[in-house]
Chains A and B, each alone.
Chain A
């Protein structure tokens, strides 16, 4: 027995030696001119023969964190929230996967080609991917999953993510059949997607949960399949081994994952805890390794101290905090009044004294972590600093002019509506105070419980209302079409400018990424700098804490914990 083990170890060491030699050979050839510092040991994992030695494999590496509640759904077709995504990203693997920087990388897809007109994508799938029950992952699984998410009877909230597919929207409305939908498995390992219009960011889209595959035999006719650990069949780096509802979730490394050498944790434990004080106490008593990015939050009153001690870090996330302005009724149907109110908010003051998590003042909608073109972030291409100046003299002037245009002697009674929450209340109070000091305008504050609030807001029963928006995909269309296009269901302030609508529509039809970005950038500029469609306040951040020794556990571009490929020293 002993002999056997030492033989295995010896063999492994020998194999590793061989592979190192092989690698160093390659490295010398490739990197001699560019990076002489590249050491041979830098890339042993790139070689498939360099499997970790048995002793390394036996070593337990656990990652522990918290979520506020059970994921509402672990069915890729139905999940809609951060909780579900954080667990889902570890147990499912789509065609492509976003890396921590927010760029798509190959997942189940080995390669893809795009047709000349940008409307047909052909994905070549790898042949060694397996479901947790041993079945191979094929193109048919993707075809089945996409059509299932679109089927009206599935009633998926995120079905619209698949409306890019030809006849996708029609099928969802019952006006076309499943066979009409533009997705087809040409053979077991080739998937063809036909789009309604060219969408240069389609590879970004296929990273979204609604495009993940499901195992047909498991899902068909069993809507409750994703509610228990024992019935979930998945294909990602981790397997869901225990789901004790309301209490904890245990995930273990998937031994059949095709990229298992890149998975370092052997186990992850998710405890379901809501209050941030409890989460923090668990961290302090070494029961969890991570806080932040939608996986627990650092108590607000501790943030400044922890950041000063360098124990916590503040990171940007792709979400924007803003106030909707009702453009359909007086007084805010007047653009000068909208501008006056937007200019009279001291954003940095708000961040320093109220929100206190080093947020970035927002003068537009697209959050800074969102990708643009040519390797630049969208906000680097189109800085928002000129869109809105916090100029009090100008604000007062605009207020007077706007009132005169409306034939008013003073601002009529207006109400600022927010959903009941201590944080939103503090912000609303601070802003009402700024308007009082800077414009001499009294604003009434009102709060409503969440469900009621949403209904009031979507019925335009407000003057100014709180809003927050987070990204679904790493693309600025997410913050523009969804928020300022007149056809969007999320444009509750009912802003409408035909020029903006047209630019956004055109951006969807353009195959050239840069040109598409330019159109989106121009649409956002018009909506903000010229029309002040909404009142932006700040771009969200997340405060994260991680135990020493962990690496590659990060907050992704959207501010969701990304941990599946992390490591512990």
Chain B
């Protein structure tokens, strides 16, 4: 088991290194530079700027300097947000994306499961169809449309919520709905189909025959078994949601990390591009690593295999 973990970990480090190198090369290969502006400055000022940010050195030297700093967990200083440290920028903005992301994941799971169970229990009846309509809308309406619509209806017309910002618990409602609509729909479809399968299986029939109450069957047996695909999906969902959504963060003016990802590339803000890419990569790899570990613990076949290797 230790060996298995160690292997995975080393592999992660190697992937990270490859990713850093590839990003560094690609970023520098893209035309444009962080130091250009619409108003051209004199060649001398351009030179001063390059010297200041170390861009006058050969690429390989710049790469070496970057790795050295990175080894000390220093992501450098942003070139467009003058003298702000990338570490601080990421920490300050990730906080908000994380909070909103976790609320949204919890909402997606709860609402998705509820809808899915209702649909499965009332298979081919009115409620099943209603749940189907809701989930089709959730999947089909993109957040670019959903978010401004929610804002206009509930914040401008009804005035039940604030238009933008993330200052109180109520401010989470609209962005959460916009962010969770698609996952809710997806989870609902997952639960419905696997639940239908489970409900028709023999052990449920046995439970019914034993005279167990309806809600006990759903809760104890059916739901637990239907949750497996959802758990798999959850790993992807969490990583996806906590890294922030550009659209939702912009529309609801949430100071999150999502909008920085695109903006840093458009700005050619080299240290910021590297910082966010590395941060995202570590997040995704860590979540993969954890889910691999979880599988190893849960799946007896995997455990056996690694046990043999460990011997």
Chain A interface (Cβ within 8 Å of chain B)? 70, 72-73, 75, 78, 80, 152-160, 169, 172-173, 223-224, 226-227, 244-247, 271-275, 277-278, 281-282, 284-285, 287, 449-452, 454-456, 458, 468, 472, 482, 488-490
Contacts and interface: CB of A to CB of B under 8 A. Distances in A.
A489 B46 CA distance: 11
Contacts of A247: 165-166, 253, 255
A454 B38 contact: yes
B210 interface: no
B7 interface: no
Interface stretch (B104-112, B152-160, B217-225): B152-160
B51 A155 contact: yes
A153 B41 CA distance: 16
Interface of B is mostly: loop
Contacts of A160: 41-42, 45
A147 B259 CA distance: 37
Interface stretch (B75-83, B117-125, B191-199, B283-291): B75-83
A80 B83 CA distance: 14
B83 A273 contact: no
Interface stretch (B25-33, B132-140, B231-239, B300-308): B25-33
A282 B164 contact: yes
Interface in B13-48: 30-33, 36-45, 48
Given A152-B51, A226-B83, A274-B250, 14 more contacts: A75-B82, A155-B49, A155-B53, A224-B77, A247-B165, A247-B166, A272-B255, A273-B164, A274-B259, A278-B163, A285-B155, A452-B32, A456-B31, A489-B43
Contacts of B80: 72
Contacts of A449: 32, 266
Contacts of B85: 224
A287 to B, nearest CB: 6
B151 interface: yes
6 contacts: A153-B48, A224-B84, A285-B156, A450-B266, A451-B267, A490-B40
Interface size class of B (residues with CB under 8 A): 35 or more
Contacts of B253: 247, 271-274, 278
A68 to B, nearest CB: 10
Given A272-B255, A449-B266, A455-B32, A173 B40 contact: no
B41 to A, nearest CB: 6
Nearest to A490: B40
The 8 lowest CB-CB distance pairs between A and B, nearest first, are: A451-B32, A489-B40, A246-B255, A155-B52, A73-B82, A247-B255, A273-B253, A224-B83
Contacts of A75: 82-83
B162 to A, nearest CB: 8
Contact of A157 (B37, B81, B83, B267): B37
Contact of B48 (A172, A244, A282): A172
B244 to A, nearest CB: 11
B31 A455 contact: yes
Contacts of B77: 224
Contacts of A285: 155-156, 159, 162-163
A544 B263 CA distance: 26
Nearest to A284: B156
A431 B17 CA distance: 49
Contacts of B81: 70, 72-73, 227
A278 B164 contact: yes
A277 B162 CA distance: 14
A450 B33 CA distance: 11
B252 interface: yes
A272 B164 CA distance: 10
A224 B84 CA distance: 7
A73 B83 contact: yes
Contacts of A458: 40
A454 B32 contact: yes
Nearest to A454: B36
A451 B30 contact: yes
B164 A451 contact: no
B189 interface: no
